[in-house]
Copies of this chain bind each other. A is one copy, B any other.
Amino acid sequence: MVTQMEQTLDKFIKKNLNPEDLKQFNRIHYGREDHCELKFKESTFKTAGESNIDVAGYYFTANSEQVRSPRNVIVGLIQHSIVLPTDKTVSEQKDAIFHKINKIIDIAASEGVQILCLQESWYMPFFLCTREVEKWKEFAESATEGPVFKFLSPIAKKYKMVIISPILENENGTWWNTAVIIDEKGQYMGKHRKNHLPSVGSFSETSYYSPGNLGHAVFDTKYAKIAVNICYGRHQALNWLMFGLNGAEIVFNPAATISEFGESFWGIEARNAAIANAYFTCSINRVGTEDFFVIKNEKEERITRSYYGSSYITAPNGQRTPSLSRVRDGLLISKFDLNLCRQVKDQWGFNMTSRLDMYAMELILKTQT
């Protein structure tokens, strides 16, 4: 019931408050009275409507500066469900998702998206809840030579789009949960590997892949300095912090999280990170229900997991967009001036007052006792 509920918190509000109350609610909850919607093309609504895709776009403004020109960028986030049942072949399942994503990227491109991020393990069902490997192992692939890279690379080139592609990586027999950065020429630019592996009650991903060994790289793309904090890593303040210290202007958080875990703080963590570190955060969560059939005690057992979508974006000043749908595929677009990052730092002083040297010492002492 709850997981099928279409309404986001935002929708509840919009439909129930009178205009004056809505303004005040928005001021307190979103950080601004108006959502600042982007004007989309007719064709965008038409194509999205035909495919039942929730499209939404919002802009954030920055002040003009004397020395620096505005550095506007347009980002896009895609949240989507799987297409075929999970007992189809790996290739069938993957191709069906490729086909769907291709269409959504076309829409994104027509609205000028320059940096696009897909959800965690976007081309597969999130089978890690099954604890099985055999059936799924061909979903893990090379970051630079696998079918996913080969699918996205020409699209990135065609649209001059930087694409962040979260995959399961198999590198010489070791698995990683990896975000691959493809640059606007369609070339491999680098990758980030998930630093923190979930271990929530009986759910654990530790048997599938290794904790990230690539630190907190920031990728200086043509359009912005970006970083990726994969899913469960959003619970770790230090993970967010290091991306900020390394110069990130936008941090993407591609995720696959079910309603039973953390829907009430989905709107809290990435937003807090944006405020604390003065960068934009882009939160993407999977949607849809996935059924798996596993053999347990010689009997077939069904595992069902539902994801709540609700992708959203926060600016460094704490202003945020409404969320995409809880249940439908969606494309969220935002246009903003990256200069806002430094403007917020200069105004609020969180960086200047951070006393990092004190904390570095305290942490060293703490981890050695």
Contact = CB atoms under 8 A, between A and B. Distances in A.
A67 interface: no
Contacts of A236: 276, 350, 353-355
Contacts of A5: 24
Given A21-B16, A354-B196, A362 B29 contact: no
B232 A241 contact: no
Contact of A235 (B30, B238, B242, B348): B348
A25 B161 CA distance: 37
Interface in A1-28: 2, 5, 7-9, 12-13, 16-17, 21, 24-25, 27-28
Contacts of A31: 264-265
A9 B28 contact: yes
A318 B268 contact: yes
Contacts of A356: 238, 363, 366-367
A268 B265 CA distance: 9
B198 A235 contact: no
Nearest to A242: B362
User: Which of A2, A242, A269, A359 has the most C-beta atoms of chain B within 10 angstroms of its own C-beta?
Assistant: A359
Nearest to A197: B353
Interface in A340-369: 347-350, 352-360, 362-364, 366-367
Interface residues of A, number: 67
- One complex includes copies of this chain to the number of 2
A5 to B, nearest CB: 6
A197 B354 CA distance: 9
A286 to B, nearest CB: 17
B349 A27 contact: no
A139 interface: no
Interface string A234-272: 011110111001000000000000000011110011011
Given A237-B241, A240-B237, A355-B211, A264 B196 contact: no
Contact of A196 (B12, B353, B363): B353
A177 to B, nearest CB: 13
A200 interface: yes
Given A318-B262, A355-B195, A366-B245, A349 B200 contact: yes
Contacts of A32: 264
A269 to B, nearest CB: 6
B2 A27 contact: yes
Contact of A272 (B29, B241, B265): B265
Contacts of A263: 27-28
Contacts of A276: 235-237, 269
12 contacts: A7-B24, A9-B25, A12-B17, A13-B13, A31-B264, A195-B358, A197-B353, A199-B353, A235-B348, A265-B271, A272-B272, A364-B364
Given A8-B28, A12-B17, 11 more contacts: A2-B27, A7-B21, A16-B16, A196-B354, A199-B353, A200-B348, A216-B362, A235-B350, A237-B276, A238-B359, A242-B359
